[in-house]
Amino acid sequence: MTRALIAAGLLGFLGTAQLHAQSQPMPQQPAGAALPQVYKPEQLTPVQLQARNAVSTLRDSVAAAGGALSRLGADGSTTSLQVLESRASTIVDRCDAAERQRLASQKQLSSAPLTASGELKAQKDMLKEMDKLKKSIDQCTKTYTPLAQRGKGQEVRDYGASRAKPILKGFQEFDQSLKPFSKAMNIQFRPLLNAGKSPLD
């Protein structure tokens, strides 16, 4: 009998405690603490947009060509000769696309009606960088067009990666020029597009 009374009392206590817990208000977090951050896109003027788009599309094309060049050094020693010939052809295609985009971007940027002295200097400096970039793109096309021919796979394996190094260096120098340009123009570049495709492909 005593054990039954103790058990009944214990069950009653647990039930009361559960009801008490359910009746208590849930603690509230500070306002905004758990809310996700909201991305606010840049509020750019049409002129800033024109300048940014001109440079960012060229950056994407150069990245596509650079990605194809870098791949030669990644697995060139184990890839079949036929595939290496195909990769050399892809490099030529992407460098050609980068040159077309360079000309289009140069025209787009040079026509941007900038007025502030800092922006005008940034425009002038970037146009110079685009001129310098042409040398690397031309070297890319000149170097890999002969290697893209049938039967040249062994040459691609032997020399393809080493001949890519000075070209990639020129591409990297162009990429490094984006930071001072974006700072002077007070803009940010969107994330890089998939380097497997050029905007003009």
Banded pLDDT at 190 (limits 50, 70, 90)? confident
Residue 199 reports pLDDT greater than 50: no
Residue 4 reports pLDDT greater than 50: no
Banded pLDDT at 74 (limits 50, 70, 90)? confident
> Which DSSP string corresponds to the chain?
-HHHHHHHHHHHHHHHHHHHHHHSPPPPPPTTSSSPPPP------HHHHHHHHHHHHHHHHHHHHHHHHHHHHHHTTTS-HHHHHHHHHHHHHHHHHHHHHHHHHHHHHHT----SHHHHHHHHHHHHHHHHHHHHHHHHHHHHTGGGSTT-HHHIIIIIHHHHHHHHHHHHHHHHTHHHHHHHHT--PPPPPPTTS-TT-
What architecture is domain 48-185? Up-down Bundle (1.20)
Residue 152 reports pLDDT greater than 60: yes
Of the chain, the percentage scoring pLDDT greater than 90 comes to 63
Q: What is the mean pLDDT of residues 113-141?
A: 96
pTM for the whole structure: 0.73
Of the chain, the percentage scoring pLDDT greater than 70 comes to 74
